[in-house]
């Protein structure tokens, strides 16, 4: 079966070579690539640290017990959905602010910041109320095992406070990246994440005289870290005068700007709900198939995150650079730069897949899982490698290239069709009607990147994303 997967993968990669023509795959001295690497490097470093923190959490919790690991993994699906809403808000913000940045219109960027904060703070408050007031009901969505529900609810009630801090800090850091202040954004995020992993170790294992708090310690560490992140953002806001808000900005933050933001952000935010909701359902399916497959998926998610971290950085950094050119109506250059961006992302995806496969023995050796969970993890690995390559193409196109030009509806339609029309339906059918082995259900329902690729390729070639949205 996996031989067929790889044959399909090779055919897809060959078809994507339409971007390459007969020229060298990449010219390292190219100005766009230099700018891309400059803006992407801090993003990738921060993303690597984010994934490293997730890896450390998984490793530390695996030493506590498998119930803690599985419960936190399921409980974090709530924040996962919230994060996808933030992604929608950040993508719409990047699409507009990067094009305003290309026109040197900093006044519009300041007003846009206020518009976005209203939405993000409202969403954060909603998720806080859900997680704090009804954590057990939320856990019942993902699992029917009493131990997982009790442990996960304890975790959710505490970590809910971190959502309030993230509602402000996530948008501020996004604006910094959009005006090419990625170093400052990465520095704040990195300090926050480093503090988080240190506090996790202290509270989980009872270091420095603290009691062993286990899952509760993970939640407390996250809340403290997010509060510190917000404080750092506040300090930085007093330094970056380009987004220093004035009284006039509060009066002007509305009208046409709000409508334009909603026009480009709502589809991406809706996509976040569609994709995040589908992913949460897939997690719920696995939660009802047993704790072994949940634990294996917890590790698999971290592994795939490491394998795709560079291509996500390219998508985020590339969106800013392409947005600048589109804001200046430099369509020809933007098209050429998009092709270069795609090549760089594909190379990073291939490299990530190779590294992931090479490190497989190390990963399976250091995590503490039950024999069945370890067997499931081994079975997932080839699929993870395939998805790392395909995701480098689809995510760079959807989250980077298309959104840079305000083409935000395609991702919504594509994810609804693929995630709900394929993954969720086939997962429910195979898991609860045919009752196939959990790892088989996991593999088949996670072929969504393979299903998505032809649609993304066709849309890229259509060039509907090539437009200036500030005119």
Reference 188, options 80, 400, 45, 84; nearest CA is: 45
Q: Give the global pTM.
A: 0.74
pLDDT of amino acid 335: 93
Tens-digit pLDDT profile for residues 269-307:
788 778 878 887 898 898 888 888 988 888 888 788 778
Report pLDDT digits (tens) over 84-106.
788 778 877 888 888 888 888 77
With bands split at pLDDT 50, 70 and 90, how would you rate the model's confidence at 125?
Answer: very high
For the cut 90, the answer to whether the pLDDT of residue 419 exceeds it is yes
Is the residue at 34 inside a domain? yes
Q: What angle do CA 469, 394, 296 make, to 5 degrees?
A: 135
In a domain, 272, yes or no: yes
What gap in Å lies between CA 302 and CA 48, rounded to an integer? Answer: 11
CB 406 within 8 A of CB 470: no
Q: How confident is the model at residue 79 (pLDDT cuts 50, 70, 90)?
A: confident
Domain contains 457: yes
CB 74 within 8 A of CB 148: yes
Express each pLDDT in 8-28 by its tens digit.
444 444 344 444 444 555 565
Average pLDDT over residues 227-240: 85
Helix (H) / strand (E) element for 124: namely: helix 106-133
Mean pLDDT value of segment 414-429 = 95
Could you give the angle at which helices 182-205 and 31-64 cross, rounded to 10 degrees? 10
Asked if the structure places residue 471 within a domain, the reply is no
Element of type H or E holding 98: helix 66-102
Between helix 182-205 and helix 146-178 the angle, nearest 10°, is 160
78 and 131 Cβ atoms separated by less than 8 Å: yes
Q: How many CB atoms neighbour CB 207 within 10 A?
A: 12
Q: Could you give the C-alpha distances from 79 to 82, 126, 155, 422, in angstroms and in order?
A: 5, 12, 12, 24
In a domain, 469, yes or no: no
**Can you tell me the distance from the alpha carbon of 358 to that of 176, in angstroms, rounded to the nearest whole number?**
36
Which of 182, 174, 228, 178 is CA-nearest to residue 44? 182
Taking the C-alpha atoms of residue 408 and residue 329, their distance in angstroms, rounded to an integer, is 19
**Which residue is it, tokens 């984010």?**
50
Cβ–Cβ < 8 Å for 436, 410: no
Q: How far apart are CA 344 and CA 88, in angstroms?
A: 24
Q: What is the b/e burial string over 10-37, where b = at least 16 CB atoms within 10 angstroms of the residue's CB?
A: eebbeebeebeeeeeeeeeeeebbebbe
Residue 208 DSSP SS3: helix
Render pLDDT for 148-192 as a digit per residue (tens, 0 to 9).
888 888 889 998 999 999 889 888 888 888 887 878 888 888 888
- Hey, what are 354's tokens? 């190779």
As a whole number, mean pLDDT of residues 201-217 equals: 85
Q: What is the DSSP letter of 17?
A: G
Measured CA angle at 264 (ends 259, 266), to 5 deg: 85
Instruction: Please state, in angstroms and as integers, the Cα–Cα distance from residue 444 to each residue in 77, 280, 449, following that order.
Output: 21, 17, 11
Do the beta carbons of residue 225 and residue 193 sit within 8 Å? yes
With CA atoms as reference, report the closest residue to 106 among 43, 176, 42. 176
Give the dihedral of Cα atoms 57, 173, 178, 18; nearest 10 deg. 10
What contacts 256, CB < 8 A, 6 or more positions away?
none
Residue 303, in any domain of the structure:
yes
> What's the rounded Cα separation, in Å, for the pair 75 and 132?
12
Closest CA to 398 of 82, 80, 115, 87: 87
Nearest residue to 345 (alpha-carbon basis) of 469, 456, 465: 456
Residues 122, 123, 129, 132, CA torsion sign: negative
Mean pLDDT throughout 236-249?
66
pLDDT at 241 over 50: yes
d(CA 123, CA 470): 26
Task: State the Cα–Cα distance between residues 255 and 336, nearest whole angstrom.
Answer: 35
Domain count, the chain: 1
Terminal Cα distance for the chain, rounded:
50
Q: Is 470 part of any domain?
A: no
pLDDT average, residue stretch 223-227: 91
Query: Average per-residue pLDDT in the chain?
Result: 83
Q: What is the mean pLDDT of residues 124-152?
A: 88
Please give the Cα distance from 402 to 457 (Å, whole number): 12
3-class DSSP state of 187:
helix
State how far the Cα of 234 lies from the Cα of 469, in Å rounded to an integer.
30
Say what the pLDDT of residue 453 is.
95
Range(s) of the domain holding residue 189: 2-462
pLDDT of residue 420 exceeding 90: yes
- Structure token pair of residue 351: 């490299």
Determine the Cα–Cα distance for residues 435 and 393; give it in Å rounded to an integer: 33
CA distance 391 to 448: 10
Can you give the pLDDT at residue 6? 41
Query: Distance (Å, rounded) from C-alpha 157 to C-alpha 129?
Result: 9
């Amino acid at each position: 079966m996996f031989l067929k997967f790889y044959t399909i993968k090779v055919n897809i990669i060959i078809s994507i070579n339409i971007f390459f023509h007969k020229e060298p795959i990449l010219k390292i001295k190219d100005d766009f690539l230099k700018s891309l690497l400059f803006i992407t490097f801090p993003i990738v470093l921060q993303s690597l640290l984010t994934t490293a923190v997730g890896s450390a959490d998984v490793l530390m919790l695996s030493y506590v017990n498998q119930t803690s690991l599985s419960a936190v993994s399921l409980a974090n699906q709530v924040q996962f959905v919230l994060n996808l809403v933030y992604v929608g808000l950040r993508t719409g913000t990047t699409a507009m602010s990067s094009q305003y940045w290309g026109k040197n219109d900093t006044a519009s960027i300041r007003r846009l910041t206020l518009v976005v904060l209203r939405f993000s703070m409202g969403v954060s408050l909603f998720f806080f109320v859900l997680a704090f007031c009804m954590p057990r009901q939320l856990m019942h969505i993902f699992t029917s095992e009493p131990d997982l529900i009790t442990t996960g609810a304890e975790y959710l009630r505490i970590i809910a406070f971190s959502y309030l801090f993230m509602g402000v800090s996530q948008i501020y850091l996004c604006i910094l990246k959009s005006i090419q202040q990625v170093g400052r954004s990465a520095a704040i995020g990195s300090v926050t994440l480093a503090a988080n992993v240190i506090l996790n170790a202290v509270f989980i294992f009872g270091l420095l005289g603290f009691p062993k708090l286990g899952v509760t310690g993970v939640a407390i560490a996250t809340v403290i870290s997010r509060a510190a992140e917000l404080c750092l953002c506040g300090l930085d806001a007093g330094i970056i005068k380009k987004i220093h808000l004035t009284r006039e900005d509060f009066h002007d933050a509305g009208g046409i700007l709000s409508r334009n933001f909603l026009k480009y952000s709502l589809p991406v935010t809706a996509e976040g709900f569609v994709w995040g909701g589908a992913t949460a359902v897939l997690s719920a399916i696995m939660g009802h198939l047993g704790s072994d497959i949940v634990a294996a998926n917890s590790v698999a998610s971290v592994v795939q995150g490491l394998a795709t971290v560079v291509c996500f950085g390219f998508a985020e950094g590339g969106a800013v650079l392409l947005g600048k050119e589109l804001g200046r109506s430099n369509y020809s250059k933007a098209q050429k730069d998009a092709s270069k961006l795609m090549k760089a992302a594909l190379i990073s995806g291939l490299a990530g897949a190779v590294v992931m496969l090479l490190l497989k023995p190390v990963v399976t050796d250091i995590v503490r899982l039950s024999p069945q969970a370890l067997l499931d993890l081994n079975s997932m690995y080839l699929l993870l490698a395939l998805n790392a390559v395909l995701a480098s193409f689809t995510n760079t196109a959807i989250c980077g290239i298309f959104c840079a030009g305000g083409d935000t509806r395609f991702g919504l339609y594509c994810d609804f069709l693929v995630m709900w029309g394929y993954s969720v339906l086939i997962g429910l059918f195979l898991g609860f009607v045919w009752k196939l082995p959990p790892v088989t259900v996991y593999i088949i329902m996670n072929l969504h990147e393979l299903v998505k690729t032809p649609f993304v390729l066709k849309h890229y070639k259509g060039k509907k994303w090539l437009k200036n949205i500030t005119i």
